Every structure is written in C-alpha cells, then in structure tokens.
Structure 1
C-alpha cells in the first residue's frame, strides 16, 4: 500500500492533517464474484462466507470469499417486499445486529422523479443454518413510512430533506445507501444524497425492532458528516468506530474511506482514497469475522457495461455479470 501526500480533512469545524493511504488493485487481491453486477450491500456470515444484496433484484446471495458463483440458491424476497410485475425494491444497504440482518432500500424517486412505493422499505431477516445452507427468514413486516416520518419531523425541517423529496437521486434527491448498528439497538441510516452545507446526513432510527412490528418510527436528530461534498455510500460499525465509504452524491468521482467516532460533531478522519485507475466503485464495506480486515464490494454495473457495448447490466446474459471484492486492513 502506498501513501499519498498529506491532505486536509474537515472534522466538524476543525481541520485535521494526516497521511492518506491510497488503495490500488495491486495492493490486495481483487476477487471476482459471478451472477450480478450491482452489489450494493454486504454482511459477513462466518469466516468464509458473506451475503449480498444488489439493486437490480430482490434476492439475497451467499458467496465464499474465494470468489465465483453464489454457493447456494438465492433467497428471493419479492413476495415479502410486495414487489411485482418485474419491479425491484432497489436494495441499497444492510447491517447485522446479532442474528438479525437489516436491509434498506433507496427511499428515493426513480430517474424520472416518480415515486414508486416498492422503493420505500426497511426490513429484517433472521439468519440461521439448516442442512448446511444459510436461511434468511423475514421478520415481521417491511416498514414503509421511514422517510414520511422524517419529512414530518420538526428536527428535519432545515435538513434539506423536503426539497430533496421532489427530485430524482441523479439531481440531488433522497437516496439512502448506508445502514449500520446505532446506539442502544438502534440503526443509523446514511444518505448518499442530498448533501448540504453541513455534509452528508445520518438519520438515527431509535426503535427498529418496533417498526417492523407495526409501530411508528422514533427518530433522533439528524447527524451530519462533512466529507468534502461526498455522500455516504456505505456505513459499518466496528468497535467504537464507524467506517464510512464516501463517494459522489451524483455522477462519477473519487471514493474515500473515513473513520468517525460516532458522535454528532465528533472526530471524522479521511484515512484512505480508492484509486480511480482500477475503475472501482466501492458501495459496501463490512467487517470480516475472525479477522481484523474489512471487506469492500465494488458496484460494477458501469464497469461491466463498458466492457459489453455499454449495455446495462440487467440486459446482459448472467454468464458475463460479475462484481469485485477486496480486503483492507482495519486502520488503527
């Protein structure tokens, strides 16, 4: 791993100067996984396997870190989510608390600024093993009112959410891409956009277990992370720290890794940048079990399209679909 020149990083209102590590494909092995292009969320299952969601299907897929095809049949959640007629829920992020895996969709309008109800879902699955395969049993009911509750909450009146709620994600509209364990059994919901003057937004959901049992959401005040105009592309809690993949709210740009102390206005450090030479688009980060490493997944939809006549991933034969993953050492 090589080091770039020192960079100035905003942490709250203070600036911190530090040496930045630059990730390039030569630093660690890039592993290829078959079957889908747009890996958007990942959660470790054991020392050898992880589960992913992608934003073009409503299924969970289990892979071995060694690469290749999914090791078992995908778990289709279309019926549970209420998807039909070829519609996708746009799964974007996941988080693990015990044996409960939480998943969330984008909660944003489509590219034509139209509201599609299937894109507003927060739900949980219980993970277990039966007859040598992982099982993912849905718990309760998908919660559909998270964004409506935030938009109605006075604490979010100046957050920029109301203005963003009428726009497509491509034009700065609401787009959720991060989810992590929060304090006291809650969840932190991270937004790719909008990104305002105060930075990227986190919505603290205080009672996730209750919302999937039919209760209304209880929200904490919004938390903002100033990451030089970048939004949250993935969020993971490890010990007392949170690791954040930051990337462009819209369009193409560089991706970085930040470490945050989990406190509003607390210490936020940019600790790594991802080289654009590798055409990587980091969209998910999670802790590996039995290791001090982090694992990163690249959403390779654009990468695959460029290699196949600019055809969108969902239009391609499954035999050419893939995404990539790689591990990095947890920064100390």
Structure 2
C-alpha cells in the first residue's frame, strides 16, 4: 500500500486546526466517540472551483481528537493531487471501511485552482479515490479512467482497503458508464457494477456496506431511495433492488446509516431531513422524519436510543451535529445538538467514525437546552436562511419558535457575525408568549454572514442557532423587484391587486407573489391530482396563461438537456382561480399527459400538410436526444386565441429560421375522461431568427411574444401579433436588460395592450446568474430562500 503518514502526534496544537470551530454549548455526554469529517476549502474560495480536502478528527462532543490529515494538492510519487469543488455539496461523502480500519472519499485528481471539476471531462481530469488510515496515512493513487465524466463522483466505500465501490453520475461518460463502479486499490480501469443504457441505471449517489452487503442511494425513477446492490460485495455487473422507498415529500436520498433495528436516510431536497425506516420483512417502511438539510450521516446504538452524527447545511461555515433519537417504531424523537462549526471559507461534507475506531453501544446523557425550530417558508427551503437585496424597500422575514424542555421561560438575543453585511442595530427580533419569534433585518452591504440567535433559560442553560443571511447587490432599475424562493422563473399570470402567479422549471409549484419584493405569499401544488410518473421529477413548467378564471400551465414536453426522457414533462393542466390579490386561491380542474405523443403522431402523419415529420418531433423525443438547440422539442409559451384555441409556443424547433406555434383546438374538452389533444394549422413566425420564450395574452385581444435564441445566447426581444396568420409579428423598440444581471427573459404579465407607451412587467430568470458574486449559480444555491428572480417594468 502506498500510504504516506502525515501525522506526528496529536497535541494541543490540534485545537487550532484550520477549518475547525467548537460550539460553545457542546455536550460531553458522548466524548469517547471518535469521528472523521471531510472538510473542503482554502479559507477564501467559495465558488465552483477546486479546493483542498482534509480529514478532521473530533471526539463526540466536538472537541479536537488529533491533527487533521491534509490530502495532497500536488503529485507525490504514486499519490495524485486530490481536490473537490468548494461549493459542490453532493461531493465529499465519507465512509468508514467495514473492518473499521480506514475512511474513504471520492474526488478529482487535480490541483487547486479555477476549474469546474464536476463539469470537466474524464480522463482529462480523472475521478479518484482517497484511502486514509488510523495513523493519518493516505493513498490517492486509485483513478477511474473515463468514469463520471462531466459529472459528480459522490461517495466511495471499501470493505478492507483492497477494493473500492464508487458512486456517482455516470450517464454522460463515453466509457465506464455506471452508477456504481468497482476497482482495486491502485487500479486505473474500473468495472461497472451497476450500469445500463440510461440515466436511471447510470446515476448513483452514496454507496455503503452493512453486514457484508453493498448498498447505494439514488434519486432516479423506480430506484429512488436506498438499494441493495447484487448479493454481498459484487465485483462484476449486477442488478439492484429498491429496499427503502423515498417517502412522499422528501427527495434525493444521499447518505445513510443502518443503526440497530432502524435505517436512517438523509434527503437533501423537497421536504429535507433524515427519514427513519423500520424493517418489515425484507423491506423498510418510512416511520418519521427529523427535519433539516443534512449531508453526511453515521450513527450507533446508544443504550435504548440511537445516536446519530451528521453534517448540517451545505454552505461554508456549516455545522456538525449530534442527534439522539429516543423514538420507537412509530416516531423519530430527535434531540439535536451542534457540536462543531466550520470556519469561514470551509465546509463540512461527510462524517463517519474515525479510522481505527470501533463504536460501542453505551448510553448518552445530554444536558437538555432550549430547542430552536425554524419555519420552512418556501418550498425546498430550510427555514434557517434569509436573503436580501441591498436597497429594496421590503425584505423577507424569518420566523420560528424556541421551547425549553424544562419548561422555563427563555430570553432571546440576536447578533450579526459581520457588521459590514448587517449591523446588530439593524436586526429586529420580536418574540411571542408562545415561544414564537421573527427575525427581520435591513442590510448594510453586499456579502454573506450569519445572524446568531441565542436562547437563554432562567437557570442559565442556553442554546444558539444561526440564520444564514446573504445580501445581493442593489438593482439598477427603480422599477425592479426581487422575488425570493426560486430563480428559474419561466412564466406568470396576473392575480389582481399587483399580485401575480409564477411557475418555474425546477419545481411543480405555482407560487403567488405580492406587489413588493419578498417571498411568495402562497404556494400551490397539484402533483397528487395530476399524478407523477417518476418520484422527484418536475413538470419543467414553462408556459402559463390566464383566461378568465382559468389558468393553463404546460410543461416543456421534451427531453432533458442530457437527452433523458422525462415523462412528467408531458403535461398540460388547468386550475381555477377564486379571489384576488393575497386572497387568491387555486383549485385543480383537469390535466392531460398526451400532448407530447399527440404531437409526435400528428407530425409523423403529416397532420399539418407540410410533409411527414416536418417538425422532427419523433426524432427529438428519442432517448438520448438533447432538448438543446433549434432541432429539438421544447415548449416555452402558452396563450389562447380569441377562438378558444390554446397555442403552444416552441423554443425549439426553429424551422427554416421561423419560430413555431401550434394550437390545441379542443382544449375546451380537457376535463373529459377520454380526452386526447387535437391540433390545428401551425403558425411559422418571422422573429428575425429568434425562437419563442413566452406568449402573453394582452387585454386588447392581441398577443405579446417574448422571443430569444433557441440556445443560451440570449438575444431577447418583444413582438406584438394580432393572431392573423397572414400578418407578421411587429417588433418592439423596447430593449430588454437589467444592468449587472445577465439573466434570461422568460415571461411577462400585466400586459393591457400593445399600444405604444404601455407599461408591462417582465420576468428575469436568474438560474445561471451568480447573484452574490461567490461563484454559486442561483439554481445551485444551497437552499431555496437564497434564490431569487427579478421583475421589472418596461414600456
């Protein structure tokens, strides 16, 4: 083995390990546990760049165990450099070997620097494996050839240090495709253990070993949850079997731990949290959930209870926590304690027991301090985060509650960790007699910090909780507003009193926003009524139009950019609107799943009279065909003409330089049981080579067309059209743009007419925008409260 020792002896200097900060209220009840935590960062970088990785060691109370193991940042003999992305939360899972002698982690054989590791091609940048022993020695010589190219390697596990199983997104690799790959120590040619011809079979997350059996998590289709991989510890291709299904609400299974009679799986999206499962025969059934955003996870039996350790949140300066579960087969009775916090510029990713440590089963006694609960205000949020825009008249407000388990009254205080971002004097903390509280703040400057709220009981026992607080720059337009909770806004409809409904392509929600900046007033979801084909997938909602008291919404209908077929994107549905403004409500009317297949059949049969397969829909819907470019199938606009036909506006295809619109002529029968869409004569519109990015019915019976490139080049413009197939759309002289924000114009609302000088509001999708200047694209921000899109008024 090529293990290089980096340790001398653990000393008092270990208390000053870079990236380690001990929480002041950590319990000493389980001090004898020894933990290893993967830590990424260099103290400065925060974006999607390559940064060093080290393994830090803690006792169970969060105090330092010994000096960290710094993995190499340059080649050292047969050992290769080892780095991870600074803000790539799904990387860095850490697993103790089944024989307890090692920990393993997957990464990239590249030196630190400005490179997008998970977007890089392999083998140009190799995915690699680090093995670390109890003395701090390491081996980083094992590489995975072309595996996980342009995607993440997420986790690695070993039985005894001689053979590894690696999990990750392997669908885009030209060679060595697979969700789970196997390779011997020092090897360079992995074997596909679990693979197949599509993203379902080639996309895994975190592998682990329990009682001599290999398991892996995934969020894909029929395998969403935890899966048994073959029998025992396979070294050749096998099938896998789902044993613990993703429960309704949580999404994207990540790390997991079998502890005693229970299984715990953390879910990092949807209703985030650690889901507890109890065994029923060969399968496991979800019992309850401990809410929060957790990534790394391990645990042991602790007397009659279960003791878990987890890394919490995905931002830098995140937390290492312990959780005591005192529940039974029917509930997760969790008591959570922060035991350590990462330093600025560093993030905890994975956690497991330290190499060489065999966990016991001794009980744990904890001093019970006040318990914080943050209200989850937006779908996909954590509750413990706020974002602001400098200079906006209104800002979001966080809410929560704190209760003392001893029943004593508590006093709350709040303070900023960076006065240049938000000053203590500008934080408003209000409390209620029932333990509820709100936190509001007026930012001082652009940046990222934490607001620390401390609860102190009458006898002096105290606890603290940190509220992530990020501030983006002021908007260079007096009419511009920031709407928080999503970034990929794709369409909108008026709700009255300045309010509007909006959809996005990263969730299935319809959100109601108010007339000022801030989070959604309400959220509506109709997944149950429509029915989902694949757990965790979205409609990719792209078009929306309101006709009277009915709103119609369409999915994109096409494949993903990676060419994966997503049946849930084939949807057009209708909801009814009652009330106006903040009192507006939505109720389900009807939906169809047949538009995509109907378009393919109509086009193939020359239903439009332009020639069979004129639009190429049959080719564009094949597995492996990307939704990108002018020759795919991708709907982004929806509007109804004066005759009651519902028109689909296509971002692609663009046919012979013309944008495409196709009407559904029988949408009035959508609520019939045997409904099948019928299509009318298409419109091929001259938009100067542009495609359709949104369609908006105007108050005077015309159509506003928001146009842009079929790819991501932008080139946005507005056009007006009178619905006459013999007339061409008229371009507007109004420029679209918001200084400092290179987003994508995807929608508009409040369009009373096409007359010159009419003010309308347009939506700016910021999904690929670095809102905070820290390297995060908005769509990749670690929690929904930090995401936002903008609206502005144009004439």
TM bin, normalised by shorter chain, reads 0.7 to 0.9
Gaps in structure 2 of 5+ consecutive residues: 1-474
The residue matched to 2:599 in structure 1 has which SS?
A: helix
Higher helix share: 1
1:274 is the counterpart of 2:723 = no
Work out which of the residue numbers 472, 480, 488 in structure 2 matches 1:30: 480
Assess if the C-alpha contact under 8 Å between 1:155 and 1:222 holds in 2. no
Report the CA distance shift for 1:71/1:221 in structure 2 as closer, same or farther (over 3 A): same
Work out which of the residue numbers 765, 776, 791 in structure 2 matches 1:299: 765
Report the CA distance shift for 1:27/1:315 in structure 2 as closer, same or farther (over 3 A): closer
Aligned-pair CA distance for 1:306: 7.5
The residue matched to 2:576 in structure 1 has which SS?
A: strand
- What's 1:76 paired with? 525
Report the CA distance shift for 1:56/1:155 in structure 2 as closer, same or farther (over 3 A): same
1:209 is the counterpart of 2:659 = no
Report the CA distance shift for 1:194/1:28 in structure 2 as closer, same or farther (over 3 A): farther
Report the CA distance shift for 1:168/1:42 in structure 2 as closer, same or farther (over 3 A): same
Aligned-pair CA distance for 1:88: 1.1
Aligned-pair CA distance for 1:275: 3.4
1:169 is the counterpart of 2:627 = yes
Alpha-carbon distance between aligned partners in 2 of 1:149 and 1:86, rounded to the nearest angstrom: 25
Cα deviation code 1:163-221 (max 9, x no counterpart): 43343211431100000112322211100011111511101111112134232212111
Q: TM-score, normalised by structure 1?
A: 0.84
Assess if the C-alpha contact under 8 Å between 1:28 and 1:327 holds in 2. no
Report the CA distance shift for 1:130/1:247 in structure 2 as closer, same or farther (over 3 A): closer
The residue matched to 1:209 in structure 2 has which SS?
A: helix
1:253 is the counterpart of 2:714 = yes
- What's 1:321 paired with? 787
Cα deviation code 1:236-269 (max 9, x no counterpart): 1212321111011112222111111212241312
Work out which of the residue numbers 675, 686, 690 in structure 2 matches 1:230: 690
Work out which of the residue numbers 603, 607, 619 in structure 2 matches 1:155: 607
Work out which of the residue numbers 734, 741, 746 in structure 2 matches 1:283: 746
Report the CA distance shift for 1:26/1:206 in structure 2 as closer, same or farther (over 3 A): same
- What's 2:565 paired with? 115
Report the CA distance shift for 1:104/1:307 in structure 2 as closer, same or farther (over 3 A): farther
Report the CA distance shift for 1:130/1:146 in structure 2 as closer, same or farther (over 3 A): same
Report the CA distance shift for 1:108/1:293 in structure 2 as closer, same or farther (over 3 A): same
Report the CA distance shift for 1:85/1:225 in structure 2 as closer, same or farther (over 3 A): same
Q: TM-score, normalised by structure 2?
A: 0.36
- What's 1:85 paired with? 535
- What's 1:310 paired with? 776
* Higher Rg of the two aligned structures: 2
Alpha-carbon distance between aligned partners in 2 of 1:273 and 1:179, rounded to the nearest angstrom: 23
Gaps in structure 1 of 5+ consecutive residues: 1-24
Aligned-pair CA distance for 1:132: 6.3
- What's 2:250 paired with? none
Stretch deviating more after TM superposition (123-132 or 217-226): 123-132
Stretch deviating more after TM superposition (104-113 or 305-314): 305-314
Alpha-carbon distance between aligned partners in 2 of 1:306 and 1:117, rounded to the nearest angstrom: 35
Assess if the C-alpha contact under 8 Å between 2:766 and 2:789 holds in 1. yes
Assess if the C-alpha contact under 8 Å between 2:685 and 2:728 holds in 1. no
Aligned-pair CA distance for 1:309: 1.8
Aligned-pair CA distance for 1:75: 0.9
- What's 2:97 paired with? none
Work out which of the residue numbers 703, 712, 715 in structure 2 matches 1:242: 703
Assess if the C-alpha contact under 8 Å between 2:521 and 2:582 holds in 1. no
Alpha-carbon distance between aligned partners in 2 of 1:190 and 1:101, rounded to the nearest angstrom: 16
Aligned-pair CA distance for 1:292: 4.8
Stretch deviating more after TM superposition (202-211 or 151-160): 151-160
Assess if the C-alpha contact under 8 Å between 2:482 and 2:791 holds in 1. yes
Alpha-carbon distance between aligned partners in 1 of 2:670 and 2:482, rounded to the nearest angstrom: 37
Aligned-pair CA distance for 1:146: 1.2
Aligned-pair CA distance for 1:107: 0.2
Assess if the C-alpha contact under 8 Å between 2:493 and 2:502 holds in 1. yes
- What's 1:15 paired with? none
